[in-house]
């Protein structure tokens, strides 16, 4: 995806109403222990241990090939793994991806993952396919308020949107399932710096206003740590460093290796 040239909208409405399944503050949403896995004979993850608490933004950092994307794919049930992955105390390791979605995990993959032939609105309706309540239309309008440009494009094919608009749609579509946990894989990939700054500002706003729990894989370490509560650094499929985002931001080793300073 080439750099996006869409100018961020400054008048997006404040997000309201927390997720219907929100847990008490501080509750453990995701607990991963001894997670190992990969692709065929290639082992990528080697006994990862990490957790995400309710309402947190947690970032996973690391060099290309370190295992960041594979970690999210493992949590979503997309690859064969061993170890333990629990969501609000329930074991989800070994479950199929659609069942994990129904349990409350929404995954925005690298490269957006919108359905290009469908309209913006139909993409959002697809995101709500697991729901049986009567509030889908209200949620569509809710995310149109957060990303007004999507309302302007509601009948437009998703494939004709700019890169930044597609990322907004991908995030909104994931949130239409009212997840307990939102996984974001390299959301800044291929986007212009101003678009990326706006995108991350909206992530922080959504988290603050709704309490949405997020696990973010990101190459732009400085920007990601700027909105995160905590972070983990993966090296060769293992956790090399972890701690509060502010501490990682000011750790000399991490600054030199991942922040370029």
Helix axes 163-175, 120-127, angle to 10 degrees: 30
pLDDT tens, position by position, 218-232:
988 889 999 999 999
pLDDT tens, position by position, 146-171:
999 999 999 999 999 999 999 999 99
Q: Which residues of 60-73 are buried (b: 16+ CB within 10 A; e: fewer)?
A: bbbeeebbbbbbbb
The two three-digit tokens of residue 4, written as one number = 């996006």
Model confidence at 123: pLDDT above 50 = yes
8 Å CB contact between 228 and 245: yes
Among 98-102, 108-112, 240-244, the range scoring the smallest mean pLDDT is: 108-112
Q: What is the pLDDT of residue 259?
A: 67
| Residue indicated by tokens 């959002």 | 124
Domain annotation for the chain: domains and CATH numbers: 25-104+182-261 (3.40.50.300), 113-178 (no CATH)
Q: What is the C-alpha to C-alpha distance for residues 1 and 44, in angstroms, rounded to an integer?
A: 26
8 Å CB contact between 71 and 48: yes
What is the separation of C-alpha 127 from the centre of its chain, rounded to a whole number of angstroms?
14
Q: What is the C-alpha to C-alpha distance for residues 5 and 164, in angstroms, rounded to an integer?
A: 8
Q: What is the pLDDT of residue 254?
A: 80
Model confidence at 25: pLDDT above 60 = no
Q: Which candidate, 183, 178, 172, places its Cα nearest to that of 20? A: 178
Q: Which candidate, 72, 105, 53, places its Cα nearest to that of 211? A: 53
Q: What is the pLDDT of residue 26?
A: 63
8 Å CB contact between 75 and 45: no
Model confidence at 23: pLDDT above 60 = no
pLDDT tens, position by position, 166-216:
999 999 999 999 999 999 999 998 899 999 999 999 999 999 999 999 999
Binned at pLDDT 50, 70 and 90, residue 113 comes out as confident
Give me the percent of the chain exceeding a pLDDT of 70. 89
Binned at pLDDT 50, 70 and 90, residue 33 comes out as very high
The two three-digit tokens of residue 207, written as one number = 């988290």
For residues 58-86, average pLDDT: 95
Q: What is the DSSP letter of 159?
A: G
pLDDT tens, position by position, 52-69:
999 999 999 998 899 999
Q: Residue 60 forms beta bridges with which residues?
A: 217, 232
């Amino acid at each position: 995806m080439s750099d996006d040239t869409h100018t961020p909208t400054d008048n997006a409405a404040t997000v309201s109403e927390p997720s219907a399944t929100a847990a008490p503050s501080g509750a453990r949403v995701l607990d991963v222990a001894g997670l190992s896995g990969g692709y065929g004979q290639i082992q990528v993850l080697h006994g990862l241990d990490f957790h995400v608490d309710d309402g947190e933004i947690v970032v996973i950092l690391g060099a290309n090939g370190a295992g960041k994307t594979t970690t999210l794919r493992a949590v979503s049930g997309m690859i064969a793994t061993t170890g333990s992955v629990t969501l609000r105390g329930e074991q989800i390791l070994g479950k199929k991806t659609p069942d994990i979605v129904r349990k409350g995990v929404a995954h925005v993959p690298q490269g957006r993952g919108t359905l290009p032939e469908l309209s913006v609105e139909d993409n959002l309706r697809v995101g709500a396919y697991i729901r049986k309540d009567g509030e889908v239309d209200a949620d569509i309008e809710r995310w149109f308020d957060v990303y007004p440009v999507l309302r302007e494009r509601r009948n437009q094919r998703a494939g004709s949107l700019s890169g930044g608009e597609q990322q907004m749609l991908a995030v909104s579509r994931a949130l239409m399932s009212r997840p307990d946990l939102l996984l974001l894989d390299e959301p800044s990939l291929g986007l212009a710096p101003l678009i990326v700054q706006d995108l991350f500002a909206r992530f922080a706003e959504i988290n603050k206003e709704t309490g949405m729990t997020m696990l973010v894989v990101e190459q732009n370490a400085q920007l990601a740590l700027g909105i995160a509560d905590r972070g983990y650094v993966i090296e060769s499929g293992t956790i090399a460093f972890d701690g509060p985002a502010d501490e990682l931001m000011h750790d000399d080793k991490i600054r030199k290796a991942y922040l370029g300073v």
